[in-house]
Amino acid sequence: MKLIHIFEPLWWMLFGAGGFMAALVLPGLLLVIGLAFPLGWFGEPAVTFHRMHILFGNPVGQLLLCAVISLVFWHSAHHLRHFALDLGLGHLEAPVSYVLYATALAGTLASVAIVGAL
Amino acid sequence: MAASSTRTLPARMPDGWWREHPRYRTYVLFAATGFVLIGVNLLLLAGVAALSTSVAAWQGYLEVLGSLPGLVGVAALLIGTLFFALRWLRVGAKIPAVRLGPLPAASMGLILVVHYAGFVTLTLLIVVLLSGLVI
């Protein structure tokens, strides 16, 4: 059994948690931050800057934001691993998995550092 | 019957199997949404980095997103995220429900309604919180 398969329950758990985060939280965040804010629907940049700091510039907001972003990275890594298998890259499963999970780990560390600096 | 000692290769799908049927293509497209979600994550992280820098950085971030290429990119990410979200919630409802004590297990239809209700509720909550209606 390859090392990557020993942690299979962990990958699937992160995949499930991240999937629900992505499905339930990401569309709303993207709609507001990606469309409503740039188009000025919810106020001037200085106003939204202040509002975002109130919501996410505290430990609870930072923890929530970190959890959402990190889990979505892990979900995506696992989903793309199976995407690679679907495309016939089964013989490269181990290296592809290591690269994807390392990317998710890097994304997690980056989100901790970036969100923590708020 | 004794197990055969002949070693065999693991079963694998024929090459290009996913091109053979629309349902297979949708399945593979769903798996590829991992790229979309990573894109959304990077966009959000760039926003948080701008937020932790200054008002001017935040304004610059919003100006990039509000430009025509920015809006096209965000619209593409939003479509991909919505495709992922609705399919994830529908597929998730097919997982057999756990029985809790004497209560009968919830039906697939009920779980699907709860999933969609959760999606609508949380999306509205996020929009209301970030819109400034309450803060």
Q: Tens digit of pLDDT per residue, chain A (118 long)?
A: 677 888 899 999 999 999 999 999 999 999 999 999 999 999 999 999 999 999 999 999 999 999 999 999 999 999 999 999 888 887 888 899 999 999 999 999 999 999 999 9
The residue among A59, A61, A66, A64 whose CA lies nearest residue A51 is A61
- CA distance linking residue B64 with residue B57, whole number of Å: 11
- CA distance linking residue B84 with residue A65, whole number of Å: 20
B47-104 pLDDT, tens per residue?
999 999 999 999 999 999 999 999 999 999 999 999 999 999 999 888 877 777 888 8
Per CB-CB distance under 8 Å, the chain B contacts of A19 are: 88, 92
Question: Are B122 and A114 within 8 A, CB to CB?
Answer: no
The residue among A113, A26, A80 whose CA lies nearest residue B89 is A26
Please count the residue pairs, one from chain A and one from chain B, whose beta carbons lie less than 8 angstroms apart.
178
Q: Which of A:91-110 have CB within 8 Å of B? A: 107, 110
Per CB-CB distance under 8 Å, the chain B contacts of A26 are: 37, 40, 81, 85
Spatial neighbors of B130 by CB under 8 A, at least 6 apart, are A32, A33, A36, A37, A42, A48, A51, A52, A55
Best residue in A29, A93, A99, A118 for a mutation probing chain B (most B CBs within 10 Å): A29
**Global ipTM:** 0.93
Question: Nearest-CA residue of chain B relative to A110?
Answer: B45
